Amino acid sequence: MTLKVLSVASEAAPLVKTGGLADVAGALPAALAAQGVDVTTFLPGYPAVLARLGKAKAVHKWGALLGSPARLLAGKLGEHPLLVLDAPALFGREGGPYTDASGKDWDDNWRRFAAFARAAADIGAGAVKGRSFDLVHAHDWQAGMVPAYLRLAPLEGGRPVPSVITIHNMAFQGYFPGDIFPQLGLPPSAWTVDGVESYGGVGFLKAGMQLADAITTVSPTYAGEIRSVEFGMGLEGLVLARSNRVHGILNGIDTAEWSPAIDPHLAARYTGGKLAARAKNKRAVEREFGLERDDGPLFVVVSRLTWQKGMDVLAEVLDHLVGIGGRLALLGSGDAEIEAAFHAAAVRHPGRIGVRIGYDEPLAHALQGGGDAILIPSRFEPCGLTQLYGLAYGCVPIVSRTGGLADTVIDANPAALAAGVATGIQINAVNAGALAMGISRAVELYHRPAEWKRLQKSGMKADFSWGASGAAYAALYRQLIEEQG
């Protein structure tokens, strides 16, 4: 039987993207179609999304969705159905999905994403004529209130449907002051620790985790880590209490977007059997970043420049990286202080370090296709996609041993090298000493070309397509629907 699932996310590639959530939400419909699941994606109507939608049909209307009039527009995300919440008072503004142009969170984010969740719960329960669903899948805090509305304030006459919440990042919880509670349209009984209350405020992610039928996160190791104070960030108790409902399902990659054999953003396309062709891509990156040309390794970074990503630690070891013959091409944006540290390093090491502050999708592909190794020293990483792209592109990942990084990269220790299964380098701790050592190991290995090539090829052979993970989601959906009876 084909299942119908409503996937509720605040971003989805290629329409709107600030990070890996968009890649995953954008890839799920195709991943699940292969498993007999029809996914409809539901997105907020940011200006960029409405522009891409063009002339779309309104399939539903709300007179007042938490106070704001809204329409539901129908379109397509690739070949798959898309619904968009057109609510100009909430989403019709320039800036990012969550912040204004200066990077400050919108003051009314609670209202924007509570309204989005209220709409999703209505749609999931069958409010829109001709569109019924068997399950609702909510992503991150922005959709965290969906399970709460489904359970605690269901649509009158609607169909009860189970829900899943996926935690893509526990660090972002959508935590708001308690005085918003009366405006959420929930019954007073929802104001308890078994409902949406969290440490005296309203926790959107917490509400989702409390009230969804299942909680998933994006790697098995992170599913274990979030039981601890360090990674659970205040919600570890809830994770423990519901641990029989918590699943770790690794993200896959969208091989239509991320395959070096067909990638239109590369100067030269290649396969594992034609690695020599990467040289042309490396030259292109060197030119783009104003780097000297030489035979040493070219390290790359494609990342948010934040504490989570360990980018402050990387900035500390750049003199070492250059001192042992490395070069670095970095693309990213984030904390002003970290950006400044990279700029300063580029000034200290002209021709050896090139920095591009900004967001540039084609350049992200070019770096994976031309870099020798990608640096990902994250302090925590629920899954991580750039190491998976690195593996697929023969751009050897150097990662910290945490979350999805630990689950997807096989360290080039002597045993793994001897067995021919190594795919990258893992560092044991996120500090300057450990990272410097990881970079040194990479430089040494790079100068043993046969071994380096083997590392690249093993990574390229690994399967990170959505097959297994799509099947895991589909199995979970079916189990929950069966339980509901």
Interface residue list for ligand GLC (CB under 6 A): 19-21, 24, 168-169, 218, 251, 381-385, 404
When CB distances are held under 5 to 8 angstroms depending on the partner's kind, the choice from ligand ADP, ligand GLC, none that residue 316 binds is: none
Instruction: Record the tokens describing residue 201, joined without a space.
Output: 């405020």
Q: How far is the CB of 251 from ligand GLC (least distance, A)?
A: 5
The CA–CA distances, whole Å, from 46 to 7, 89, 235, 285 equal: 17, 11, 30, 33
- 451 touches ligand ADP by CB under 6 A: no
Q: How far is the CB of 140 from ligand GLC (least distance, A)?
A: 8
Closer CB to ligand GLC, 132 or 308, in the complex:
308
* Residues 374-403 contacting ligand ADP, CB under 6 A: 383-386
Chain centroid, CA 157 distance in Å:
35
CB 40 within 8 A of CB 7: yes
- 25 touches ligand ADP by CB under 6 A: no
The CA–CA distances, whole Å, from 241 to 168, 236, 334, 415 equal: 19, 9, 35, 39
Closer CB to ligand ADP, 294 or 361, in the complex:
361
- 304 touches ligand ADP by CB under 6 A: yes
User: Looking at 95, 172, 359, 433, which residue binds ligand ADP (CB under 6 A)?
Assistant: 359
Closer CB to ligand ADP, 62 or 389, in the complex:
389
Q: How far is the CB of 31 from ligand GLC (least distance, A)?
A: 13
Rounded to whole angstroms, the Cα distance separating 119 from 346 reads: 48
Which residue reads 């189970």 in tokens? Answer: 162
Q: How far is the CB of 258 from ligand ADP (least distance, A)?
A: 8
Q: Which stretch binds ligand ADP (CB under 6 A): 108-116, 242-250, 313-321, 359-367?
A: 359-367
Q: How far is the CB of 472 from ligand GLC (least distance, A)?
A: 14
Which residues, listed in sequence order, are joined to residue 16 by a DSSP beta bridge? 12
Q: Which of 252, 279, 255, 254 is nearest to 266 (CA)?
A: 279
Instruction: Record the tokens describing residue 164, joined without a space.
Output: 């899943």
Q: How far is the CB of 359 from ligand ADP (least distance, A)?
A: 4
Q: Which stretch binds ligand ADP (CB under 6 A): 297-305, 394-402, 415-423, 425-433?
A: 297-305
Q: Which stretch binds ligand ADP (CB under 6 A): 277-285, 298-306, 310-318, 409-417?
A: 298-306
Q: How far is the CB of 301 from ligand ADP (least distance, A)?
A: 9
Q: How many CA atoms lie within 13 A of 63 on its CB side?
A: 0
- 409 touches ligand ADP by CB under 6 A: no
Q: Which stretch binds ligand ADP (CB under 6 A): 241-249, 280-288, 302-310, 460-468?
A: 302-310
Q: Kindly give, in sequence order, each residue whose CB lies less than 8 Å from that of residue 193, ignoring residues fewer than 6 positions away.
A: none
- Contacts of range 404-412, beta carbons closer than 8 Å, 24 or more positions apart: 404/218, 404/219, 404/221, 404/222, 404/250, 404/251, 405/376, 405/378, 405/381, 406/219, 406/221, 407/219, 407/220, 407/221, 407/250, 408/219, 408/250, 408/384, 408/462, 408/464, 410/458, 412/441, 412/445, 412/455
Q: How far is the CB of 10 from ligand ADP (least distance, A)?
A: 12
Closer CB to ligand GLC, 168 or 454, in the complex:
168
- 166 touches ligand ADP by CB under 6 A: no
- 12 touches ligand ADP by CB under 6 A: no
Q: How far is the CB of 427 from ligand ADP (least distance, A)?
A: 17
Closer CB to ligand GLC, 152 or 430, in the complex:
430
* Residues 305-334 contacting ligand ADP, CB under 6 A: 331-333
Helices (H), 401-466: 403-408, 414-419, 432-446, 449-461
Nearest residue to ligand ADP, by Cβ distance, number only = 20
Which helix (H) or strand (E) is 121 found in, with range? helix 109-124
Rounded to whole angstroms, the Cα distance separating 66 from 115 reads: 6
* Residues 170-189 contacting ligand ADP, CB under 6 A: none
Residue 259 burial by Cβ neighbours in a 10 Å radius (0-12, 13-18, 19+): middle
Which residues are near ligand ADP by CB under 6 A? 19-20, 23, 302-304, 331-333, 359-361, 364, 383-386
